[in-house]
Amino acid sequence: LAALLTYENGKNRYEAIADVDEAIDFMRYYADEMDSNEGYTTRMKSAYPDELCYSVMKPYGVFAVISPFNFPIAITTGMCSAALVTGNTVVLKPASDTPLSAFMICKIMYDAGLPESVLNLVTGSGSIVGNALVASDDVDGIAFTGSKEVGLNIYYTGNAKRPKPIIMEMGGKNPTMVSSKADLRKAVEGVARAAFGYSGQKCSACSRVYVQRDVYDEFVSRLVEYTSELKVGNPIERDTFMGPLINKSAYDKYSRYAATVSRECRVLYGAEEVTDGDMRYGYYVKPTIVTDIPAGHEILREELFLPLLAVVKYSELGEALEMCNDSIYALTAGIYSNDEEEIRAFLEGIEAGVVYVNRGRSATTGAMVGSQPFVGWKYSGTSGKGTGSKYYLQLFMREQSQTICA
């Protein structure tokens, strides 16, 4: 599965294996949740001596699952297994760039004994197949991961005829703060991994880093040095860190932004396509670090889904928090500081569903199922509940109050 994923969406070996591991984690965790909650049937208090009262969670019926290209095994399996384990049937529409991964997931499910009519695979463009599913009155609920623009269209279209549960995660513009009291080695590695892992094509990717001015020069110097050593190349090769972008549209978008930041900002590293050897046949680009960015610039506001990191100075913690929160998105965020008061202020003031403190392996990415619920605030999500958390399965069910009189 990981090998197929590398060929299909360009993830390196490590990221591809992690994608498959996460899919396994989702299935185990959600099955355990159904067991530990006894199928979400709960004995309630009795209002009268002759009454037995229960809360029973029941499936909605048919769920449309519309999955993304960046985690075509993990997120697809997570959304499908949550819908299935709670008793719903599923119509799965994978991203147009990654249909083979979804096909393999379904094949494994069928081989394991799941009736084919319970999990149904349809492929095609979002504008045709996706829209047909969203507008269908035969669909009782929708689970979607993708862009804000597509998600909002799904939200309004899906509820046009009747109310439906629409469970969505819609991306992020994720900030990290680096304090003057940070371990800079850990901060550099964490920010670079979060910004450029899978070529920045993660909804949780770090795209903005706010650095206290006292350590700004040293942090930037070390970040550029670290980033310059990340290998861009064929993702099937063992030492490749960044493979290609997903498609020509993403490649062209990178080229446009590379030209924009070269003209309007100061490029510290990157902003170039990679055309050495065989890479001239693919959508390979350099990780890009930019600073001296005009206030309100689009690279500070828009989710780009590209390996482009904006670096901004700050003086006081409150100023940095204000800049972090100045976004319509609120998915993930991180801080590097060894000062307990700074950490407390960050945790109390940051507007994000998933936050990390001094995480060396990644500043904003890499949430683990069952440990770090993955939830978006603001325009990053609709439910206020996270995947891989104890609340997620309840989103796929509706409550029925049952009273039995003696």
Catalytic annotation, residues: 169, 203
260 closest CA partner among 229, 233, 218, 293? 293
CA distance 374 to 197: 18
Residue 63 CB partners (closer than 8 Å, separation 6+): 83, 88, 89, 90, 91, 139, 140, 141, 142, 143, 396
Give the integer Cα–Cα distance in Å for 52 and 47: 9
Distance CA 176, CA 160 (A): 38
Sheet containing strand 397-405, strands side by side: 41-43, 51-59, 397-405
Strand partners, 329: 378
Q: What Cα–Cα distance (Å) separates residue 215 from each residue in 97, 123, 180, 187, 221?
A: 41, 50, 6, 11, 10
Q: How far is CA 167 from the centre of its chain?
A: 14
CB atoms within 10 A of CB 255: 14
Give the integer Cα–Cα distance in Å for 145 and 261. Answer: 29
The residue written with tokens 């399965």 in the block is 393
